[in-house]
Chains A and B, each alone.
Chain A
Amino acid sequence: MKSRFRLESALLPAAAAAAIAALWWAAVVWTKTNVFPSPAAVARGIAELARKGLLLAYVRDSLLRVAAGYGAALAVGIPLGVILGWRPEAGRAANPVIQFLRPISPLAWIPVAIVLFGVNDGAAIFLIFLASLFPILVSAMNGVRGVPAMYRQAGANFGLAPGALLARVVFPAALPEILTGLRIALGVAWIVVVAAEMIAVNSGLGYLVIDSRNAGKRYDLVVAAMLLIGAIGLLLNILVQRVSRLRAVRWGFREEAS
């Protein structure tokens, strides 16, 4: 039964994708559009990008920006979140600030980013940093705050000093929740890098989306870029999910038996 399930979960999406591609192609033919690309045209577009060496270069540039912004968010967000969660009064002071800043779209920060960094990678990375910071910060805060007092008491009982308590009890206990925040933040980072590139720089997948249209109505490249964005986003998500399956943290994600 397991192998049948495996077969189905591979075949069915493939079948669905094929069906959608067929509908797409039919729609293109039926409406006789000159502009909107057929699936074949998109495939050829991807091949063209690969041939020109742009494919890898653009993907690499986007990923590098994500790595920089996301990395910075990790470096700031986790320690800050842990501290804010550890000291509830500090958390309560910071909370309104966080709740207020969070709904401001990273793209609304663009003018500020440009003033601070100029129109270049720095601005884009700053935006990614901002966007990823909040999920990480909030989940670190909540994770630490949600550690049952029982665990802290047990740690203290064994004579752990606060520093060791934090490192050996609180942080591991909070890790599953933090990982969830990391996964969300990575998803956000990937969305924002694409958006940031459309506006502030001139390489990367987001740039490709806008430039293909502006520089020549190359909608085949637009759609090709979109599909690549989707595929890489999915891969990133799977990557983080793999991390949450590691035995060191799997305990936090096990479903309750009903």
Chain B
Amino acid sequence: MTAALAPVPGRTKLAIRGVEMTFRGGDAEVRVLEGIDLDVREAEFVCILGPSGCGKSTLLNIVAGFLAPTAGTVRIDGEDVRGPDPRRIFVFQERGVFPWLTVEGNIGFGLGRLAKEERQRRIRHYVRLVGLEGFEKAYPHELSGGMKQRVEVARALAVDPDMLYLDEPFGALDSITRLEMRRELLRIWHAEKKTILFVTHDIEESVQLADRVVVLSARPARIRRIVEIDLPHPRDLSARRYLELRDGIFEEIGLAHKV
């Protein structure tokens, strides 16, 4: 298992150039992504924000190597992305957890090539990191949604990837658990310094988490704006700057402030 390259803040990790995606379904062609250019720096936390169905998940799948774009390139550390890679782990929603393996089994899934002791050590470390001590032998169907999500995150982290891709990972959770999970994620990010790409449709979430928010338009998706979030962590949700940035994005998307 190659150790993650020591992150050099500021260096370009991910370079997306001119990515376009067109799906051919039946006799119709659906243009999902248009002219996406984006650079992501090492150890950055970038949120991709857009309404449901706009193509943000498609973009993430392309970056992760599960889909090939109809045009454009994706380069990580200077190399073309040609397929999924254990150095960049995709965190699906809780459904990505393997239901036939226990918590331990899931977290240790990518660690097959390690010596048994090392594997056990890592599993224990990440079980503790995500707060699931005591549940090592439980099966996913015995766990709540939030716990399953944590298993998935632990599984991703256990193989020590350089990059994490998260596709609306907290979407199926209740709002209280969501707040907790965001805090957890930030804590882990500070501790492990991974480069993170996080897809969401939740404006508040993006401002709470990201260094930069990439706002996508509706389909066909283009980058409307990239917002720098210059707030320190931990972020005060009532601070004026937070509200400014949040409202700015609201306006960008064209939403009113009143319900």
Contacts and interface: CB of A to CB of B under 8 A. Distances in A.
- Direct contact between A and B judged by beta carbons closer than 8 A: yes
B137 interface: no
Contacts of A258: 95
B117 interface: no
A254 interface: no
A2 interface: yes
Interface residues of A, number: 4
A1 B26 CA distance: 7
A2 B26 contact: yes
Most chain-B CB neighbours within 10 Å: which of A1, A3, A258?
A1
B24 interface: yes
A1 B27 CA distance: 8
A2 B95 contact: no
A258 B27 CA distance: 24
Nearest to B26: A2
B24 A1 contact: yes
A64 B37 CA distance: 67
Nearest to B25: A2
Contacts of B24: 1-2
Contacts of B26: 2
Interface string A1-27: 111000000000000000000000000
Contacts of A1: 24
A24 B37 CA distance: 59
A258 B26 CA distance: 20
Interface in B83-120: 95
A1 B70 CA distance: 14
A1 B25 CA distance: 8
Contacts of B25: 2
B169 to A, nearest CB: 16
Contacts of A3: 27
Interface in A178-196: none
A1 B22 CA distance: 12
A256 B167 CA distance: 18
A2 B27 CA distance: 7
A2 B26 CA distance: 5
A258 B25 CA distance: 18
B121 to A, nearest CB: 34
Interface in A1-56: 1-3
A125 B169 CA distance: 57
Most chain-B CB neighbours within 10 Å: which of A2, A3, A258?
A2
Interface string B10-44: 00000000000000111100000000000000000
Nearest to A1: B24
A119 to B, nearest CB: 53
A73 B27 CA distance: 43
B131 to A, nearest CB: 28
A2 B24 CA distance: 8
A143 B26 CA distance: 33
A69 to B, nearest CB: 40
B63 to A, nearest CB: 20
A156 to B, nearest CB: 28
B52 to A, nearest CB: 12
Interface in A218-252: none
Nearest to B27: A2
Nearest to B23: A1
A9 to B, nearest CB: 14
7 contacts: A1-B24, A2-B24, A2-B25, A2-B26, A2-B27, A3-B27, A258-B95
Closest 7 interchain pairs by CB?
A1-B24, A2-B26, A2-B27, A258-B95, A2-B24, A2-B25, A3-B27
